[in-house]
């Protein structure tokens, strides 16, 4: 997604944010609608999103994270994230990693598509993400990323903050 | 080595964290002074019950204020609202029904936000509380459930950036123009996820309503905090709050003596605090600006956009960023005795019921209605794309709100520009984007000093202990 500041209204629009009857299946169908109405149809579970600077800026709506989970997106890579988006991500056990070098490399690789204003570019090849060494490998190139802090790590491992609080209450 | 304001105030509200003064990057548990939820109270209730909690830890810590979908009379929505009210009663939490106002305005005008306190809301515009010398910062609904159940949530201290304000705004230039200018000038993540401290001699010239607009919209700029120092203007505002609370209830939230104390010993950063960057802004150089369309990272001077004669179909004087008394009065002064253009619908909603009542007493409200403004109940309304008056495909809107994202205020095939209440009012009359006064095409120069090399040197030795501590806390 070659755009800076992809915002929460773009990721999960107003028509769904204030509805309580959205199932994961419906959420998966409307994901990214205000960014690229074709996104849901052209992507599938297991796809990794790579976007640019300030991903997830905007509101604190949790569904901007959970709709991606519903779609089966395992994680988002961006050049930078809004911290409020990261709170939702980590609290829901969803991974986000900042790899500006990979973003720059992809911009170089897909310059023609970006110039043609394609909203979602799907190379279709694999990306290797090694969390033990904090390294991403794509088409033979290696990119390092900062290790996740221990608090976010423990949240991801616990499957989200609700599980942690539940545990704490049970102990109290 | 001293602490920035965010480090100091977080320190005061810390329940678990490093056994030394807090620094940028530290993880800690915080017990906020107050925590507000709005319509999402319902979602937080599900999470609260889901984690097995029965009683909220401290009912005095919470405020529920319905403001988002208040025009929706569907049974499903009304049922949700009734369930929130019943839960508030059962748990002993302060509850504000639909029509009371926007949650953030309730928090500041009803004494929930006080200088030096750490106040959160499950909403991104919690930054607004910074105008009163508090740390206001957004949390998300899972955090809110944690606060309800345990009184606490996890936080990481952001880096701090000083914004030094000099000079004084020219007549016809507003707080909204200041923040639109900052969003437009520093639009490459300079302040992303930072805590911004406003400082400098220019602060004293900004009214409280101007500070609210600026702090509120620091959210769109990127920071997690937009803090203002406490001064005579803060004290004057709090005295008025106290007076209203003495009449309406809630006077226990702070005393007259507290106000004098805050004035005499205002919360302040240490003189030797460490900042990641410093921005200088001469208020005298700021001119009216319009943000957008589609993004707050792009701005145009009023002079520039006036030349383009951008026709509009809808104008909005609403929202937690710009529908307080000063905003409504400024718009009324522009529009008095005139009518909105025949091709334009002009929507009006006060930030709260109290604001509307005061505007009515002063005749401001009637002036706006006489000009053809269509009043909406006090709440978020079109700003979040709910209820009456949304932008339809192909339409262009001018709005005194804080976000112009594609599809937010209606169709994703509409365009939305953001501006001050004066510009919104003048545009509603003209039918195209313009201001009440002529200004030169001018904007302040960028003045950004990156201080991270000093910051890295000083924090390098601490980084190791920080991570060790964080793993102990986890």
The rounded distance, in Å, linking the Cα atoms of B14 and B59 is 19
- Phi and psi, residue B376, nearest 5°: -120, 155
The answer to whether B292 and B416 have CB atoms below 8 angstroms apart is: yes
**In which domain, by residue range, is B138 found?**
31-156
What are the tokens at B153? 């949530």
How many structural domains does chain B have?
A: 2
Task: Note whether residue B119 is domain-resident.
Answer: yes
Q: Cα–Cα distance between B314 and B324 in angstroms, integer?
A: 20
Residue B311 DSSP symbol: B
**d(Cα B90, Cα B137) in Å, to the nearest integer?**
28
Locate all alpha helices (DSSP H) within B222-363, ordered by sequence: 232-248, 256-264, 302-308, 325-335, 353-361
CATH architecture of A8-171: Alpha-Beta Barrel (3.20)
Question: What pLDDT score does A23 carry?
Answer: 97
Residues of chain A with pLDDT under 50: none
Residues of chain B below pLDDT 70:
454-474
The pLDDT value given to residue B467? 33
Q: Which two tokens stand for residue A19?
A: 């509805």
Cα gap B365→B325, rounded to integer Å? 10
Query: With an 8 Å Cβ cutoff, is B141 touching chain A?
Result: yes
CA distance B383 to B454: 41
Tell me the domain boundaries of chain A: 8-171
What's the CATH code of the domain at B87? 3.30.499.10
Q: Are residues A136 and A127 in contact, defined by beta-carbon separation less than 8 angstroms?
A: yes
Q: Tell whether B329 is covered by a domain.
A: yes
B76 and A91 within 8 Å at the Cβ level: the answer is no
Closest CA to B142 of B131, B157, B154: B154
- Check residue A100 and give left, alpha or beta (phi > 0: left; psi -120 to 50: alpha): alpha
- pLDDT number for residue B456: 58
For residue B226, what are the β-bridge partners? B196
Residue with tokens 């169908």: A29
Confidence (pLDDT) at B59: 98
Chain A, chain B: beta-carbon pairs less than 8 Å apart: 135
CA distance B92 to B62: 9
Q: What is the pLDDT of residue A152?
A: 85
State residue B468's pLDDT score. Answer: 33
Q: Which chain A residue has the Cα nearest residue B219?
A: A58
**pLDDT for residue B461:** 42
| pLDDT score at A168 | 84
Which of B107, B136, B156 is at the close of a domain?
A: B156
Chain A positions in Cβ-Cβ contact with residue B192 (cut-off 8 Å): 53-54, 80, 82-83
Which pTM was predicted? 0.95
Interface residues on A facing B, Cβ-Cβ cutoff 8 A:
4-5, 7, 9-10, 13-15, 17-18, 20-21, 33-35, 53-54, 57-60, 62, 80, 82-84, 87-88, 91-92, 149-151, 153-154, 160-163, 165-166, 168-170
Contact A64, A12 (CB under 8 A): yes
List the structure tokens of A29.
Answer: 């169908």
pLDDT digits (tens, 9 = 90+) for A60-89: 999 999 999 999 999 999 999 999 999 999
C-alpha–C-alpha distance, residues B50 and B151, integer Å: 17
3 state DSSP class of A82: coil
Lookup: tokens for B304? 């520039």
Query: Nearest CA to A98 among A131, A150, A137, A146?
Result: A146
Evaluate whether residue B43 is within a structural domain.
yes
Beta-strand ranges (E) seen in chain A are 49-50, 75-78, 95-98, 128-130, 135-138, 141-144
pLDDT in tens, B260-285: 999 999 999 999 999 999 999 999 99
Distance CA(B233)–CA(A4), nearest Å, equals: 38
Calculate ∠ Cα B367-B373-B374, nearest 5°: 130
Strand-strand pairing, A141-144 and A135-138: antiparallel
Long-range contacts made by residues B432-438, C-beta under 8 angstroms, separation at least 24?
B432/B309, B432/B310, B432/B311, B432/B312, B433/B290, B433/B305, B433/B306, B433/B308, B433/B309, B433/B310, B433/B312, B433/B398, B434/B302, B434/B306, B435/B172, B435/B288, B435/B302, B435/B306, B436/B172, B436/B334, B437/B171, B437/B172, B437/B288, B438/B303
Calculate the CA A2 to chain-centre distance.
Answer: 14
Mark yes or no for CB contact B123/A165 under 8 Å.
no
Give me the residues paired with residue B119 across strands.
B34, B136
Q: Is residue B150 part of a domain?
A: yes
- Residue B468 in contact with partner chain A when CB distance is under 8 A: no
Residue of A9, A163, A170 with shortest CB distance to B407 = A9
Helix (H) or strand (E) segment spanning residue A86: helix A83-91
The domain boundary residue, chosen from B105, B123, B156: B156
């Amino acid at each position: 997604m070659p755009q800076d500041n992809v915002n929460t209204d773009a990721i999960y629009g107003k028509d769904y944010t204030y509805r309580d009857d959205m199932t994961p299946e419906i959420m998966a169908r409307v994901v990214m609608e205000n960014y690229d109405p074709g996104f849901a149809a052209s992507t599938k579970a297991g796809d990794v999103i790579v976007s640019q600077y300030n991903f997830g800026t905007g509101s604190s709506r949790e569904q901007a994270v959970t709709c991606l989970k519903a779609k089966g997106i395992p994680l988002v890579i961006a050049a930078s994230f809004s911290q409020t988006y990261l709170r939702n991500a980590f609290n829901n056990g969803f991974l986000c990693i900042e790899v500006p070098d990979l973003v720059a490399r992809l911009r170089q690789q897909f310059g023609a598509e970006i110039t043609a204003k394609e909203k979602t570019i799907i190379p279709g090849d694999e990306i290797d993400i090694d969390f033990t060494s904090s390294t991403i490998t794509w088409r033979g190139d290696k990119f390092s990323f900062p290790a996740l802090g221990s608090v976010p790590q423990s949240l991801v491992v616990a499957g989200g903050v609700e599980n942690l609080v539940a545990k704490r209450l049970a102990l109290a | 080595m001293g602490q920035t304001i965010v480090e100091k105030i977080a320190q005061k509200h810390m329940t678990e964290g490093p056994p030394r003064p807090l620094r940028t990057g530290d993880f800690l548990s915080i017990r906020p002074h107050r925590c507000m939820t709005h319509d999402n109270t319902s979602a937080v209730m599900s999470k609260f019950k889901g984690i097995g909690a029965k009683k909220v830890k401290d009912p005095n810590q919470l405020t529920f204020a319905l403001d988002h979908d208040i025009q929706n009379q569907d049974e499903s929505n009304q049922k949700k609202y009734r369930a929130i009210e019943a839960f508030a009663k059962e748990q002993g939490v302060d509850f504000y029904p639909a029509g009371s106002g926007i949650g953030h305005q309730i928090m500041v005008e009803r004494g929930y936000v006080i200088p030096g306190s750490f106040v959160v809301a499950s909403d991104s515009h919690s930054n607004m509380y910074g105008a009163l010398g508090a740390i206001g910062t957004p949390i998300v609904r899972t955090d809110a459930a944690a606060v309800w159940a345990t009184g606490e949530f996890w936080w990481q201290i952001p880096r701090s950036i000083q914004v030094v304000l000099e000079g004084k705004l020219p007549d016809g230039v507003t707080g909204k123009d200041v923040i639109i200018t900052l969003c437009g000038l520093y639009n490459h993540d300079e302040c992303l996820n930072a805590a911004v401290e406003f400082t400098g001699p220019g602060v004293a010239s900004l009214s409280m309503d101007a500070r609210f607009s600026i702090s509120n919209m620091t959210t769109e700029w990127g920071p997690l905090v937009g803090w203002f120092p406490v001064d005579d203007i803060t004290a004057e505002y709090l005295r008025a709050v106290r007076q209203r609370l003495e009449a309406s209830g809630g006077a226990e939230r702070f005393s007259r003596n507290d106000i004098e104390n805050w004035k005499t010993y205002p919360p302040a950063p240490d003189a030797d605090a460490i900042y990641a960057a410093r921005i200088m802004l001469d208020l005298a150089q700021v001119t009216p600006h319009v943000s957008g369309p589609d993004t707050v990272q792009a701005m145009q001077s009023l002079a520039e956009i006036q030349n383009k004669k951008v026709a509009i179909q809808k104008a909005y004087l609403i929202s937690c960023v710009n529908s307080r008394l000063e905003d409504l009065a400024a718009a009324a002064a522009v529009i008095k005795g005139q009518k909105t253009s025949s091709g334009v619908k002009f929507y009006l909603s006060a930030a709260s019921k109290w604001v509307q009542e005061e505007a009515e007493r002063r005749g401001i409200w009637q002036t706006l209605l006489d000009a053809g403004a269509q009043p909406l109940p006090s709440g978020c309304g079109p700003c979040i794309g709910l209820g009456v008056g949304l932008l339809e495909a192909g339409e262009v809107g001018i709005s005194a709100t804080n976000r112009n994202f594609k599809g937010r205020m209606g169709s994703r095939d509409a365009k939305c520009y953001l501006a001050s209440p004066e510009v919104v009012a003048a545009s509603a009359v003209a039918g195209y984007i313009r201001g009440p006064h002529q200004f030169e095409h001018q904007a302040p120069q960028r003045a950004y000093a990156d201080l991270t090399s000093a910051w890295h040197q000083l924090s390098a030795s601490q980084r190791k202990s920080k991570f060790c501590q964080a793993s102990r806390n986890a």
